Structure 1
Amino acid sequence: MSFLPKPKVAQLILAAGCSSRMGKPKQLLPWRGTTLIEHAIKQTIELDGIITYVILGAYYDTIYERIKDYPITILKNKYWQKGMGTTIQCGINTLQKEAIPYDAVLISLIDQPLLQTCHYKKLLVSFYKGDHSIIATDLGEKKGVPSVISSIYFDELTKLKENFGARYLIKQYKDQVKSICAKNEGIDIDTVTDYEGLIKKNYSS
């Protein structure tokens, strides 16, 4: 019996924003003895065979010094101020230039700290089955990232409007999407109130 090789997947952790609603670098907020960005990195480097790219922009020098020793590739989006679309473009353009022919990309954020490695594994396992070209996270009212997106969409990801994220592609190709539920774990942090509420919930549970 012959077995098909497992698809090659790269991960893009999007961490280029300036956290305008937070008023300080969200990436460096304390979380479970580390920072939000380091927590995100630690969840993903446990994924077997996945190469991780972290895309920075605002506060580049400060954040770079904090994460430079992790087994990751750090990219710099010079155009981060124009929106998340440029950060995704930066990552996909890099992947397309690599010697490794990636079959898909796992796009994730640093501000969904309740998501654990097991959720990323579920997304990947579902993609490996080959039934759908996009595996998204069901966040309740919407489907979004973390998402595994086939390389057949790479060219479209490089042409995203500057202020569009992966959710635009997920909505556009909804018939090709399978979702994995994470309604209670996919909570993201945008404001100080969000952060303080999640900290309180995390340590009281």
Structure 2
Amino acid sequence: MLSKSENGITHVILAAGASTRMGEPKQLLPWNSSTLIEHAIAQSLAVNNNKTFVVLGAHYDLIYQKISHLPIAIIHNLDWESGMGSSISKAITVILQENTSCDGVLISLADQPLIDAKHLTSLTQIFEQQKHKIVASGFEGLYGVPAIFSNNIFKELQELNKDFGARKIIKKYKDALAVVDASAISVDIDTKIQYNEMIARHFPKGNN
């Protein structure tokens, strides 16, 4: 069982994309006994976050029906076509409007199923122990999400727009950055070929 830390971190899962390269809503693709979006939520709920927000956009009604019963808050980003930056901005705006008390926000994606609660916990522990402005995941010399952003840069996250995601801000604060290695698990699923290969690798006896 993972050790849960008493932290002030709010988790935002980005799941607003249209999955155009996949040809169907990848958020609802089967993953083990659930779906990609349900799996991402389960990893979040296994960590003691203040609250878990899920940002939806494309295919809102379909995905909402699948996850609305879970103990999460769902944000509808009507401007999802503008890109990931708009979903981050919308989430931070909602968090600030709700006056949610948190030391930082953890941002992750719904299409990285190898990212698990253990990795999210590692990010959280580094953030708490060292009080960096950002704790990001590292892979192949790059830094990205999942990442935790300190509340003193929420305003900059809120001002993101169009297709500029969090990596822009991570780069800006590279001198106040801690990195947790995610080389083996930071795989995005964008196409049906990638999905089928990952299923064959991790569920050789079938995805069930």
TM-score by structure 1 length? 0.94
Aligned to 1:133: 133
The CA deviation string for residues 48-86 of structure 1, in whole angstroms up to 9 with x for no partner, is 143100010000011000001100001100100111110
Matched, 1:97 2:91: no
Kindly provide the amino acid, as one letter, of the partner of residue 147 in structure 2: S
Distance 1:201 1:148 in 2: 29
Q: Deviations over 1:9-44 (max 9, x none)?
A: 110000000011111101000001110000000011
Letter in 2 for 1:164: F
Q: Would the aligned equivalents of 2:82 and 2:162 in 1 still touch at CA under 8 Å?
A: yes
**2:184 match: secondary structure:** coil
Partner amino acid, structure 2, of 1:22: M
Distance 1:191 1:121 in 2: 28
The match for 1:8 is 8
- The 5-angstrom pairing of residues 1-205 of structure 1 reads 7-204=7-204
Secondary structure at the residue paired with 2:203?
helix
Residue by residue, what CA displacement relative to the aligned partner does 1:161-184 show, whole Å, maximum 9, x if unpaired? Answer: 310111111111111111100101
**Does structure 2 retain, via aligned residues, the 8 Å contact 1:7–1:104?**
no
Partner of 1:204, secondary structure, is coil
In structure 1, what is the Cα distance between the partners aligned to 2:194 and 2:17? 17
CA distance in 2: counterparts of 1:74 and 1:161, whole angstroms:
20
* 1:118 Cα offset (Å): 0.4
Structure 1 residue ranges without an equivalent (≥5) = none
In the TM superposition, residue 159 of structure 1 has moved relative to its aligned partner by 1.1
Residues 85, 49 of structure 1: alpha-carbon distance in 2 compared, 3 angstrom cutoff:
closer
SS in 2 for 1:129: helix
Shift in Å, 1:204 = 3.5
Q: Is the 8 A contact 1:6 1:128 kept in 2?
A: no
Alpha-carbon deviations, 1:108-164, whole Å to 9, x = none? 001110111000000000000134110000122411000010011111111113101
Q: Compute the displacement of 1:6 (Å).
A: 5.4
What is the Cα-based RMSD across aligned positions, in Å?
1.5
User: Hey, what's the Cα distance between the residues in 2 that align with 1:204 and 1:34?
Assistant: 17
Q: Aligned partner of 1:25: which letter?
A: P
**Identity, % of aligned pairs?**
43
